[in-house]
Structure 1
Amino acid sequence: MSNTQSRVCVIIAARNAARTIPAAIASALREPEAAEVVVVDDASTDDTAQVARAADDGSGRLSVMRLDINKGPSFARNAAIAGSTSPFISILDADDFFLEGRFRRLFASADWDFAADNIMLIRDDAATDVSKVVAPPFSADPEFLDLERFVEGNISRRRVQRGELGFLKPVISRAFLERHGLRYDESLRLGEDYELYARAVARGARFKVIRSCGYGAIVRADSLSGRHRTLDLKRLADADLALLKIDSLPETSKAVLRKHERHVRDKYRLRNFLDVKAERGLASAAAYALASQSNLIPIVRGVAADKLEALFRHAGLTSKRQKVPPMRFLMAANAATAEN
């Protein structure tokens, strides 16, 4: 694909990211395919916008928008999409970075509407100079995700390192978004990437994944994804119900969507039970749990699992907290051979 055809708008939604955003911007501007880098400061209370402007390399590709009211990443990304023109869109979180040559590898073929690569997950206390991080020599091993594989890949499991496919950061064809009228769901502040990707694949998007690595993500204990509200879980489960209304979906796709919806809804019910208990006491929480079997079963299972895990920790049978390695990868990959 030619440089003209592979022009990318990199979108960075940022809130209170003054410490990390210079490295994110620098990694985007380093990529020759990045024709636009749009930072949307989502009502930061620090000097994110000023720091972002100071990271300009003088090429004229960087622009910074500022929102006066915090609207969330979906709104910020949609604003950047509306204010940009490049034929491809790439999302970069404000504390993450691209590895050099990322777009060159993704644009090596043109047989996709969404194209994502592997993610290097680096623990925040193990992060060094991200500008010197080099992509590991993994084989591309390309595959295309169908809806069943994608949705199933977003069901997390207790005591398993998180690796949901919704964490992928694909390059997205603007033409596909326009053709199907797709944008980020601004009611979501959790799972907004998952919802957009799932809806796109349901509409026929060719979602290509390669195992070679081009995206670096800093894993922080205080990340936004770890601080979601109980209501965010309910809205994500409701988003699955909306996806189920797409008439063209085969029954196999609907079955896995229902499974994901139940998975998220059960998390919501447990969290809501704990919220009610904290706010109104055990009697009110018990009334909520006993209101229906749909409430009771996930609440009993969740509370029992939490209590059992705490008991095992107290007895020294498990570690006090799940160990996070200094570096890991979202998807398992094979070392590249000489032919690659």
Structure 2
Amino acid sequence: MLDTRRPAVSVVVPARDAARHLPDALGSLRRQGPGGSDLGDDLEVIVVDDGSQDDTGRVLEDAAERLPGLRTVRHSVSRGVSAARNHGVREARGRWVTFLDPDDWFFPGHLSAMLAHAGTSDADFLVCDQVQARGTARRTVRAPEPRRHRVLDPRTGVMPTSRSTMVNYVQVSSRFLSRRVVDAGLARFDEDLPTAEDREWSWRLLLGTREYAVVDAPGYVYRRQVSGSLTDIGDSRQLGFLLAYDRVLDGVRSAGQTEFEPKVLRDTLAVLHHHVNRRSAYPDDVWDAMVARAQALVGRFDPAVVAAQTTAIGHQRAHAIRRQGVHL
């Protein structure tokens, strides 16, 4: 007889050539019950092997013996992290769904703590803090919302433009999504974005849900400075953030939420300035394309909004952007 009982939580792990770090990630999932115990049948782990060419398959075979809730889906060729996450979400049966990248891990008891918080409210999703790991060094990064353990309107996590807000806290593994959010399609990532899919998703999640809460929990560990990370590349994939913010702007306008347009522009300029500081990493053709696309996106905003946000980012940053050919 088919068992129709839903596990309490499904963890989706997109993995491509992840044999080096995947054992740490999967090992941490064995200690997610209270006090670092085993969550047992309450935990489902779905690893989507996205066309790996290394020993990822062997690592998953070994892990299956120690992690009974593990299921593996394989793509014969790589389809990208968004497609891998989306496939995992389609397979997920849990009442709550979250994500874990294969080079990160959860602290012991993290998922049981998130489940306990979920049981005290009717929030659409929860958000936790993160710990950034660089070698043996650890640094706690708190979600930029001081109101903890309170159900909040997600739209309050967007503004103001003058500081980092919840919409800028884009770490995918910090989100703990209810089944109704998953069934509404809000757990889906845009597969057309080569990078910055988390930025577009963060906006869509905040603007498409009713209630959320930021909670204190053991948290997840985000491993920094991983070799081959997309944050370090200098090719055309980095143009993805401009397409992402194009789509954010489309979504804001189609929903009649034009009051958020200054924030969309401010975030675009902030990321663009980051790339300006990395100009030497890009071939000229890639940089020319970035400037052209940035100019096209800036041109979509009302001139008064552009003038206000150009002033707000300060003379130095505005000057640096202008020097590269983007007219503000």
- Secondary structure of 1:40's partner? strand
Letter in 2 for 1:36: E
- 1:185 equivalent to 2:193? Answer no
1:201 aligns with 2:206: yes
Where relative contact order (Cα < 8 A, 6+ residues apart) is larger, the structure is 1
Which residue matches 2:223?
218
**Residue 181 of structure 1: CA displacement?**
5.9
Instruction: Specify which of 54, 57, 72 is matched with residue 49 of structure 1.
Output: 57
Match of 2:133 in 1: 122
Give the letter for the 1:26 counterpart.
G
Question: What is the letter of the counterpart of residue 230 of structure 2?
Answer: L
Task: Give, in angstroms, the shift of residue 232 of structure 1.
Answer: 1.6
Distance in 1, Cα, partners of 2:53 & 2:273: 35
Which residue in 2 is equivalent to 1:39?
Answer: 47
Please show how residues 125-136 of structure 1 align to structure 2 within 5 Å.
125-126=136-137
CA distance in 2, matches of 1:212, 1:13: 23
CA offset at residue 152 of structure 1?
5.7
- Counterpart-to-counterpart distance in 2, 1:187 and 1:292: 19
Separation in structure 1 between the aligned mates of residue 210 and residue 105 of structure 2, nearest angstrom? 26
Contact 2:104/2:223 (8 A) holds in 1: yes
Contact 1:188 1:236 in 2 (8 A): yes
**Contact 1:120–1:213 (CA under 8 A) maintained in structure 2:** no
The 1:87/1:148 distance shift into structure 2, 3 A limit, reads same
Aligned to 1:227: 233
Unaligned ranges ≥5, structure 1: 128-138, 157-162, 306-340
Count of residues in Structure 1 that have an aligned counterpart in Structure 2: 279
Maintained 8 Å contact 2:186/2:208: no
Map of 1:331 onto structure 2: none
Distance 1:212 1:166, change over 3 A: same
Return the alpha-carbon distance in structure 2 between the equivalents of residues 242 and 75 of structure 1: 22
TM-score by length of 1: 0.68
- Give the structure-2-normalised TM-score: 0.70
Select the residue among 156, 165, 169 that pairs with 1:165.
Answer: 169
Q: What CA distance in whole angstroms lies between the structure 2 residues aligned with 1:23 and 1:246? A: 42
Instruction: Work out the percentage of aligned pairs sharing the same amino acid.
Output: 23
1:30 aligns with 2:49: no
Query: Which AA in structure 2 matches 1:65?
Result: V
Could you tell which deviates more after superposition, 258-267 or 190-199? 258-267
Report if aligned partners of 1:152, 1:260 keep a CA contact under 8 Å in 2.
no
* AA matched with 2:17: N
Query: Does the 8 Å CA contact 1:39/1:64 hold for their aligned counterparts?
Result: yes
Change (3 A) 1:265 1:239: farther
Change in CA separation of 1:52 and 1:155 when aligned onto 2, cut-off 3 Å: farther
Question: Hey, which of these two has a bigger chunk of helix by percent?
Answer: 2
How far is 1:193 from its partner?
2.5
Quick one: distance in 2 between partners of 1:224 and 1:154? Answer: 27
1:246 and 2:240 aligned: no
- Could you tell me whether the CA contact under 8 Å between 1:7 and 1:87 is conserved in 2? yes
Q: Identify the range of structure 1 (258-267 vs 52-61) with the bigger mean alpha-carbon deviation.
A: 258-267
2:142 paired residue number: none
| Equivalent residue number for residue 263 of structure 2 | 256
Report the equivalent of 1:308: none
| Shift, 1:54, TM fit | 0.9
**Offset at residue 217 of structure 1 (A):** 1.4
The answer for the alignment partner of 1:326 in structure 2 is none
Answer yes or no: is the 8 Å Cα contact 1:151–1:198 preserved in 2.
no
Equivalence map 1:264-279=2 (5 Å): 264=271, 275=282, 278-279=284-285
Hey, what does 1:10 align to over in structure 2?
11
Cα shift at 1:103: 2.1
Cα deviation for residue 12 of structure 1 reads: 0.6
Query: Is contact 2:168–2:202 with CA below 8 Å preserved after alignment?
Result: no
| Aligned amino acid, residue 113 of structure 1 | D
Deviation at 1:186, TM superposition (A): 0.7
What secondary structure does 1:29 align onto?
A: helix
CA apart distance, 1:88:
1.3
Give the Å deviation of 1:105.
1.9
Query: In 1, distance between residues paired with 2:223 and 2:281?
Result: 30
Residue by residue over 1:117-139, the C-alpha shift from the partner in whole angstroms, topping out at 9 and shown as x without a partner, is 11111113548xxxxxxxxxxx9
CA distance in 1, matches of 2:253, 2:105: 36
Residues 208-230 of structure 1: CA deviation (Å, up to 9, x unaligned): 11244321111115333333623
How many angstroms apart in 2 are the aligned matches of 1:90 and 1:38? 10
Q: RMSD in angstroms over aligned alpha carbons?
A: 4.0
Report the alpha carbon displacement of residue 254 of structure 1 after superposing the two structures with TM.
Answer: 3.3
Q: Which amino acid aligns with 1:227?
A: I
Q: Secondary structure at the match of 2:113?
A: helix
Measure how far apart 1:197 and its partner are: 2.9
3-state secondary structure, aligned to 2:190: coil
